[in-house]
Each structure stands twice: as structure tokens, then as C-alpha cells.
Amino acid sequence: MAASSEVMVIGAGIGGLTLALALAQRGIPVQVYEAAPELKPVGVGLNLLPHAVAELAALDLLEALAERAVITREAVFFNRCGQLIYREPAGQHAG
């Protein structure tokens, strides 16, 4: 059996941290490297598409996600003058 080596994940964004958690849950040694001196909220939102949420569900993170999530009801687009261009249901509200 070959010796186990550590996987390096570069970047502690949502993708890097999700990958690191998935590897760790499978017993694969992982080290995350991030240029920022600390991880902290920056006041922006993320729109997670269904396939991304499915990956987080596979990692048993749905309950934690639901505690912090704002559920998208619709996608709405306006022009620079504020006039409605297009709207459609989104996420669970789109079926």
C-alpha cells in the first residue's frame, strides 16, 4: 500500500473549503492555504445553485446552511432607470 500524502487546497473560499471538508470526511489528509490573514464575513451574498446545494447536502451541511440562508424567491432584472426588464421564480419557488 502506498504512503498517504496530504492534498493541498489553495484558497479558502466556498469551493476550497467544501473540497477540504469532503476530502477530510473521506479520511484524506488535507491542508488549506489562504492568502487572507483571517477568514471573516465581508458583507456579500452567494447564490448557490441546486447542484451546489446538493454537494453541501452530501456533506450534511443543509441544517447549518438553512440557519443562515435567505431563500431566493425570484430573479428580477431592471434597467439603469429602475424599470422592470424581466422576472421569474427562482429556486424552490420555480419548482
In a domain, 2, yes or no: no
In a domain, 83, yes or no: yes
pLDDT, tens only, 60-80: 999 999 998 888 889 999 999
In a domain, 1, yes or no: no
In a domain, 78, yes or no: yes
In a domain, 31, yes or no: yes
Would the pLDDT of 85 be above 80?
yes
In a domain, 86, yes or no: yes
pLDDT, tens only, 15-54: 999 999 999 999 999 999 999 999 888 888 888 888 999 9
pTM greater than the 0.85 cutoff? no
pLDDT, tens only, 38-49: 988 888 888 888
d(CA 88, CA 76): 7
The per-residue pLDDT for 8 is 97
**Are 65 and 53 contacting, i.e. CB atoms less than 8 angstroms apart?**
yes
